[in-house]
A and B are shown apart, each in its own frame.
Chain A
Amino acid sequence: MSTVKNKTALNKLAMNPIKTNIKKYIILIIAVVMTTLLFSSLFTIAGSMLKEVQLSTMRQVGGSCHAGFKYLSEPEYDLVKDDPELKDITFRIIVGVVDDERVIKARTEVSYYEPLAAEFSFCYPEKGSMPEAENEIVLSDITLDALGVSHEIGTKFSMSVEINGESKLYDFVLSGYYRGDPISMAQMALVSRAFQEKYAPTKQNPITEYEFNDYTGWICADFNFSNSIDIEGKTQALIDRTGIREDVDTGINWAYVGGRLDPSVIFVCGILLITFFGAGYLIIYNIFYLNIISDMQEYGLLKTIGTTGKQLRKIVLRRATFVSVIGIPVGLVLGIGIGGVLLPVISNQFSTVSIDKGELHLNIWIILGAALFSYLTVIISAGKPCRKASSVSPIEALRFTETRGKDGKPKKKFVIVILSLSLALLVLNSVFAFVSGFSMDGYVSSMIIADFSVQDASLDNPSVSYVETQAIERDFLDALERQPGVEAVGNIYISEGEQYFDDATWSKIENGLLKDDMVREKIAYYYGEDSVEDHIARLNRDKSLDGNTYGMNEMAVSKLEVIASVDGSDRIDWEKFNSGNYVLITRWEYENNYCLNFLDPGDKVQIRSNDPQYMEMIEAELENGEVIAYPGFENAPSREYEILAVVDIPYAMELQRYREFQCDYILPESEFLNLNGSWKPMRTIIDVESGEEESMNEWLESYTTAVNPYLEYDSKDSVFEEYKSFSNMFQIVGTVVSIILALIGLMNFANTIITSILVRSRELAMLEAVGMTGKQQKISLVKEGFVYFVWTLVVSTILSTLMNFTLLRFIMNEIAMFEWHFTLVPLAACLPVICLLILIIPVIAYNRLSKRSVVDRLRVE
């Protein structure tokens, strides 16, 4: 009974002032809406994109499971399948790969899948059902289209499948199909258990070293733990617990690992987050702080008549909750709405998933996080005068005035207002700088080096493990020569292998490159922390590094980027290079463009011939005593060359497969052929005369389908097209985000001025009562606003300039797609509007205030 009384009294004390002071609370609610909108739109977009990238990674990897074991025999699978720590476990059994001319460009792997495994691997049939009868099969629509088989359940067709290295034609009946995603490394063909047992019986004995190229009949198990924390550790524990082979082939789904974030990126993101949070926090805090005098006096009054500190806090909490309950949902809805509208535009431009793209992935935690942050900000800001009132005596609270500076102006309030306004503008300016700095030119130029590039269809597909590096036939080059409009043709040859060094040269590498901490870090990353010394010792014994030798003609060499050369020039003198005594060398590269020279211009290296005539089978004894043989060039003759220059090979030219050192040499075409005997190019790049792009495109299109389907081509135009829409997206999103931020900045300013007038309506009435005219008051209000304006101008300009030259420059120089340049355009655009607001708002606000009589306004609020 009594507590009810107490509650209603507190309720009245908390809520009644809201009714009488509705304007103040509307402004507070607007501030909360703005802040929540800022966070929720940001979080929605970022969160959904991350989710989509994760999904895309899963599709690339081919599964959503936490981890998996590859190449298990049946007894081995039985060891793990009942482990209690596993939430799910399921498997597929590898049968083979579709070996059919029609699907060269859509690699399709044949396996038996358990239904659950099919679901986890995104290949459960959407139409039809899983294969039951021996000849039933499930394919992706991509494979179906490539085969030219109709999407009709029950369709009979035959295709050639390679099982155990043997290709044969099999007859199938389509029992279902799923939507394939082109980003997946491979398409799946699901056969029945009967088919698998017949042609690829499940292996019963553990895999041995010589079977590593034979995948047929092995079980691949996929499993989930109860959560995705420390999957690596849990998998190791699973191996230890079940006693399965210690060297079992383990795959951790990197979609859950989240990649290796490097500290500078975390640092930069941290700073950006803090700036955003800071801006949001200040918007709310600012408005509350402007009301601090009236709040303190109110709390002082309540204290003098016996309200305890605890009751006071309840009152404050109730009001803060009221403001939040209205403001936060509105902000969330608006923010998520904006995020939802922008998302498809953004997502369309990223090569993430192509199915269900641009979907809003509402992460409940992210939304709660945004809401919680706004709520906490409100509570902290609203609690400030309350805490202050609690710490002093009731009479002191009642008589509270702000600490004022020498000129009688409240200093702290001034600082907070200026900071809040400037920070909003700073965020706007930074986002704009980022958006306007987006430039594809530099980036695209590394993606395309010529008008066209022709290579084996699978060369640049990362999912294919063995690629043809001598795909360009003489026929093609001859036909190309007969084409009109060809300006220049560049041939790129490659011979893969190892580079060997003599003692003197090796000691330079041993004491230079191999002493570098980053090199050790990379080795540790590849082989584990414990193996670094062993590995380096082995390198020192062999005196060799992995690396390819390229052969390039004049046109291709002209596309290389010269880093350092003997004569200091940034061009390769073709005549000199082509003399046959010189070689070009690449650099060692690690994350963030951290590069080191293997050797310097002027050094000499030997290159071993890889001419097939020198190939011999080298025998090696395994630990278990068996002897195996592998091809090698141990005794091939080698020639010495002088390093003419250190160069970078553009991404689009090289073999896009990387090993730990990647010490590549480049020889002139003729010298390459001299050394290695007959050899065919890996890639041919073509420049055409302007205006001839279209006809060349048509010719290549027909050649790579009709004449030689094993070849594939890329064109500069298609790459540009792809990136143009990407850059459009960036512009659209950037503009919208900038507009939101600009609106938030302007509203913040308007809010601030209106509040500072409302707060002083009584003071203004007193001034009028003692004879200050309305005009004089308006002028003094405008003057005051102008002081805020000038300070905001100065502070935001300084902050934005600093931001431009430090963080923004750092980030944008780091990312290839951005070109940093200094900009203050958004400030220049917003400040005049702010100036206008300063003139207009006091006049409007004052006119509205003066509708009530002076006496009315003088009364206790």
Chain B
Amino acid sequence: MSILEAKNLTKYYGEGDTLVKALDGVSLSVERGEFVSIIGTSGSGKSTLLHMLGGLDNPTSGTVIIDDKDISGLKGDELCIFRRRKIGFIFQSFNLVPSITVYDNIILPIQLDGKKPDKDHIDNVIETLGIESKKNVLPSKLSGGQQQRVAIARALASKPAIILADEPTGNLDSKTSQDVLGLLKTTGKKYNQTIVMITHNDEIAQMADRTIRIEDGHIFA
């Protein structure tokens, strides 16, 4: 049974001469617990697709169904809460809140939901990612790779059913990349999480159950 499904998704930017078809009729279905990787050249529409799947942006046409729910039917705050509870998103550009500490950033989505963070789980994630010593500093004091690891920790902290990761290892060395991937896979197994991950690295892509190739807004299975 699929937990995540996209039907005929399109996303156009601009109009006339400047029209960009970032996604052009993409359909795809991901099973519960599956680990899918997405590859494609730069500018092919990977991030755009992931944003649509996560309900972070509105498609020009087509539908996204998460857990049997058509998310286009959800309005504003409903969608926000639904997403907050179901999906952990790792952004290509991290999107950390600059004014609060690393630890606060990590538990922020949980706090916003009015829940109590699972401290053991979070400590475990932080330790595996090697950022314990940076827990109490502001994001602007971190290196690019460190910021990326904080973004990963934030996505995993609430044990979401779905993890959408946009090049989670793009700024990391190969050793750290392996650790991060290991973490994703083990927590994925443990909590039966569905993972969709964008990567440029073929080797990493191979670790997934399935690989999807995207080019010029079209999917090549």
Give me the interface of A with B, judged by CB distance under 8 Å.
1-3, 5-6, 8-10, 12-13, 16-17, 19-20, 301-311, 390, 393-396, 398, 859-861
Contact = CB atoms under 8 A, between A and B. Distances in A.
A1 B77 CA distance: 23
B116 A393 contact: no
A17 B99 contact: yes
B111 interface: yes
A13 B57 contact: no
A390 B140 CA distance: 26
Contacts of B56: 304, 393-395
Contact of B98 (A303, A311, A396, A860): A860
Contacts of B112: 6, 9-10, 305-308, 311
Contacts of A9: 104, 108, 111-112
Contact of A394 (B57, B77, B97, B140): B57
B114 A305 contact: no
A304 B91 contact: yes
A13 B97 contact: yes
A393 B58 contact: yes
Contacts of A861: 98, 140
A308 B81 contact: yes
Contacts of B51: 395
Contacts of A393: 56-58
Q: Is the interface of A mostly helix, strand, loop or mixed?
A: helix
Contact of B114 (A5, A301, A304, A395): A5
B159 interface: no
**Most-contacted residue by chain B among A307, A309, A394 (CB, 10 A):** A394
Given A5-B111, A393-B58, A13 B100 contact: yes
Contact of B97 (A2, A19, A305, A308): A305
B217 interface: no
Interface in B48-84: 51, 56-58, 76-77, 80-81, 83-84
5 contacts: A10-B112, A305-B154, A308-B80, A310-B77, A860-B140
A307 B80 contact: yes
B140 A859 contact: yes
A19 B100 CA distance: 11
Given A1-B116, A9-B111, A860-B140, A308 B57 contact: no
Contacts of A307: 80, 112
B4 to A, nearest CB: 18
B98 A306 contact: no
Contacts of A12: 99-100, 104
B45 interface: no
A789 B115 CA distance: 53
A19 B99 CA distance: 9
A297 to B, nearest CB: 10
A388 to B, nearest CB: 13
Contacts of A8: 111
**5 tightest Cβ-Cβ pairs between the two chains A and B:** A306-B84, A9-B111, A16-B99, A395-B57, A6-B114
A396 B111 CA distance: 24
B95 A304 contact: yes
Given A5-B111, A12-B104, A306 B58 contact: no
B115 A306 contact: no
Interface string B108-148: 11011111100000000000000000000001100000000
B58 A301 contact: no
A374 to B, nearest CB: 26
A136 B51 CA distance: 95
Contacts of B114: 2-3, 5-6
A398 B47 CA distance: 14
Contacts of A310: 77
Contacts of B58: 393
Contacts of B57: 393-396
B116 A2 contact: yes
Contact of B80 (A6, A10, A309): A309
A833 B221 CA distance: 68
**Most-contacted residue by chain B among A303, A306, A394, A395 (CB, 10 A):** A306
Contacts of B76: 308-309, 390
Contact of B100 (A16, A859, A860): A16
A4 to B, nearest CB: 9
A305 B91 CA distance: 10
A2 B100 contact: no
B140 A306 contact: no
Contacts of A19: 99
B132 to A, nearest CB: 21
Given A304-B91, A393-B57, A860-B98, 8 more contacts: A2-B114, A8-B111, A12-B99, A305-B89, A306-B81, A309-B76, A393-B56, A860-B140
Contacts of B111: 5-6, 8-9
B216 to A, nearest CB: 20
Nearest to A399: B57
A301 B113 contact: no
A20 B108 CA distance: 19
B83 A20 contact: no
B46 to A, nearest CB: 14
Contacts of B89: 304-305
**Most-contacted residue by chain B among A2, A8, A304, A398 (CB, 10 A):** A304
A9 B99 CA distance: 12
A304 B154 CA distance: 12
A629 B131 CA distance: 113
A861 B139 CA distance: 10
A3 B190 CA distance: 29
B95 A301 contact: yes
B103 to A, nearest CB: 11
A861 to B, nearest CB: 6
A295 to B, nearest CB: 13
A2 B99 contact: no
Contacts of A394: 56-57
B57 to A, nearest CB: 4
B113 A306 contact: yes
B99 A306 contact: no
Nearest to A12: B100
Contacts of A395: 51, 56-57
Contacts of B108: 9, 13, 305-306
Contacts of A311: 112
Given A16-B100, A304-B89, A309 B77 contact: yes
Contact of A398 (B95, B96, B100, B115): B95
B217 to A, nearest CB: 16
A16 to B, nearest CB: 4
A308 B77 contact: yes
Contacts of A6: 111-114
Contact of B115 (A2, A10, A16): A2
Contacts of A20: 98-99
A387 B114 CA distance: 23
Contacts of B116: 1-2, 5
A3 B100 CA distance: 19
A12 B103 CA distance: 13
Nearest to A300: B95
**Most-contacted residue by chain B among A16, A20, A305, A309 (CB, 10 A):** A305
A5 B117 CA distance: 10
A20 B141 CA distance: 14
A319 to B, nearest CB: 12
Contact of B95 (A3, A305, A308): A305
Contacts of B91: 304
A306 B109 contact: yes
A396 B112 CA distance: 21
Contacts of A303: 80
Contacts of A1: 116
**Most-contacted residue by chain A among B51, B99, B104, B115 (CB, 10 A):** B99
A860 B108 CA distance: 19
A84 B217 CA distance: 83
A393 to B, nearest CB: 4
A294 to B, nearest CB: 11
Nearest to B91: A304
A859 B138 CA distance: 11
